[in-house]
Amino acid sequence: MNETPAPAPTDKGTICEVFLAFLRLGLTSFGGPVAHLGFFREDLVKRRQWLSEESYASLVALCQFLPGPASSQVGMAIGLMRAGPAGMAAAWIAFTLPSALLMFAFAYGVMHADAAGLGGGWLAGLKVAAAAIVADAVLGMAKTLCPDRPRRSLALVAAAVAVLVPGALGQIGIIAAGALAGLAFIRLDGTAVREPTGHYLPGRTASLVAFALFALLLAGLPLLAQATGSAGVSLFDTLYRAGALVFGGGHVVLPLIEAELVRPGGLTREVFLAGYGAAQAVPGPLFSFAAYVGAMMPVPPNGAIGGLLALVAAFLPSALLVYGALRFWTRLAANRRVRDGLAGVNAAVVGLLGAALWDPVVTSSLTSPRAFALALLAYLALALWRVPAWAVVAGAALGGAVLLQT
């Protein structure tokens, strides 16, 4: 089988370039992790050509295997490859900053949609925009990554299984099965996938140190919290373990945080649920909910310091895992047989995104004829008229405020 040539990615970039690109994404990426991946593909792969479709799908597959917020991990990996460790930090800070600030603001009582009389129509419009973004991403990735019958078949089977067997373990099993199917049925010709020229990869020693630090903190923080009795260490430990042990993204991590922090002397259930509701209305990663949790703790450290401490703790495991794994994953992807397996993984990822397009994106957003019509217009603007994604999001929010008011 002949592999479709990948577009030539652009050269290594700057920290400022990475920061500004991800700040724009952090301000406009509504709709949860699947929608975020669609926004990333539209801006960083198609428009800026920082990396190829194949490389992007490979990063998505890697981050599906790792615990933590997949979309933030993909952003960290792209920032790392583009501008080194400082680029990784810039990508995370810029993508997370808008949602973290909004959650801080909500914690201090200055952001409340009901008090402002905004209603829920604008939020419904944002969900509609997410459906259009994800649909465009799925169809675009399917065209590039599933060009033949075996890969199209694999993607459809993966989508069907993902709908029937939801959850993080099911996703990991589907990706593993995709790799085995690729090794068995796919034979790619041509040269290896081209990565951005001059891209950064961590050294072997640095990668192993990152893995060791991840394990050391995971094992040592509970002991340190118990030995010191420090509320700050206990908060950091709780959020670090949440980010380190939970597969499936932000919605899965919330029950763990609730079990740890909603207790007598801790957060009340009412405070926790109010923040959870607000987190659905902000762009960027849902893990930014940690900023709200840390700020609202009843004992110090709380406020801005507690929010920042909790935010760093929630994302630190992802940063260490991405930094440790990227070098080995990229080297493996250069092997011809591994590339056959990755072709199967890429097709399985398309299937997973297709399943996610149905549930939860379509099932939670297209709940009325008006919402469906607005979604069609958003997709038309995005896919055929090439309207920028941020403008589609703004237009859908405005349309939702007019048409979908509850």
Q: How far is CA 2 from CA 154, 171, 178, 190, 315, in A?
A: 17, 28, 19, 7, 40
Alpha carbon distance 236, 309 (integer Å): 7
pLDDT given at position 157? 94
Taking alpha carbons only, the member of 245, 248, 262, 253 closest to residue 289 is 253
pLDDT given at position 213? 96
pLDDT given at position 144? 78
Secondary structure of the chain as H, E, C letters: CCCCCCCCCCCCCCHHHHHHHHHHHHHHCCCCHHHHHHHHHHHHHHHCCCCCHHHHHHHHHHHHHCCCCHHHHHHHHHHHHHHHHHHHHHHHHHHHHHHHHHHHHHHCCCCCCCCCCCCCHHHHHHHHHHHHHHHHHHHHHHHHHCCCHHHHHHHHHHHHHHHHCCCHHHHHHHHHHHHHHHHHHCCCCCCCCCCCCCCCCCCHHHHHHHHHHHHHHHHHHHHHHHHHCCHHHHHHHHHHHHHHHCCCCHHHHHHHHHHHHECCCCECHHHHHHHHHHHCCCCCCHHHHHHHHHHHCCCCCCHHHHHHHHHHHHHHHHHHHHHHHHHHHHHHHCCHHHHHHHHHHHHHHHHHHHHHHHHHHHHHHCCCHHHHHHHHHHHHHHHCCCCCHHHHHHHHHHHHHHHCCC
Look-up of token digits 């694999």: 154
Q: Are 111 and 303 in contact (CB under 8 A)?
A: no
Q: Are 340 and 186 in contact (CB under 8 A)?
A: yes
Count the residues in the chain.
406
pLDDT given at position 190? 56
Strand partners, 267: 262
Mean pLDDT by 10 residues, the chain (406 residues): 46 86 90 82 90 84 79 93 94 94 77 50 77 82 85 93 78 84 82 55 92 94 91 91 70 64 72 68 83 86 90 94 88 75 83 81 84 92 82 84 80
CB-side exposure of 159: number of CA atoms within 13 Å?
Answer: 18
Strand partners, 262: 267
Q: Which amino acid is it at 237? A: D
Alpha carbon distance 63, 77 (integer Å): 9
- Evaluate the CA torsion angle 82, 88, 92, 93 in order and state its sign: negative
Q: What phi and psi values does residue 310 have, to the nearest 5 degrees?
A: -65, -40
Q: What phi and psi values does residue 299 have, to the nearest 5 degrees?
A: -125, 150
CB-side exposure of 227: number of CA atoms within 13 Å?
Answer: 5
pLDDT given at position 252? 53
Q: Are 351 and 145 in contact (CB under 8 A)?
A: no
Structure tokens at 379: 């997709």
Structure tokens at 321: 């895992």
pTM (2 d.p.): 0.71
pLDDT given at position 282? 79
Q: What phi and psi values does residue 10 have, to the nearest 5 degrees?
A: -85, 170
- Evaluate the CA torsion angle 247, 251, 256, 261 in order and state its sign: positive
CB-side exposure of 339: number of CA atoms within 13 Å?
Answer: 18
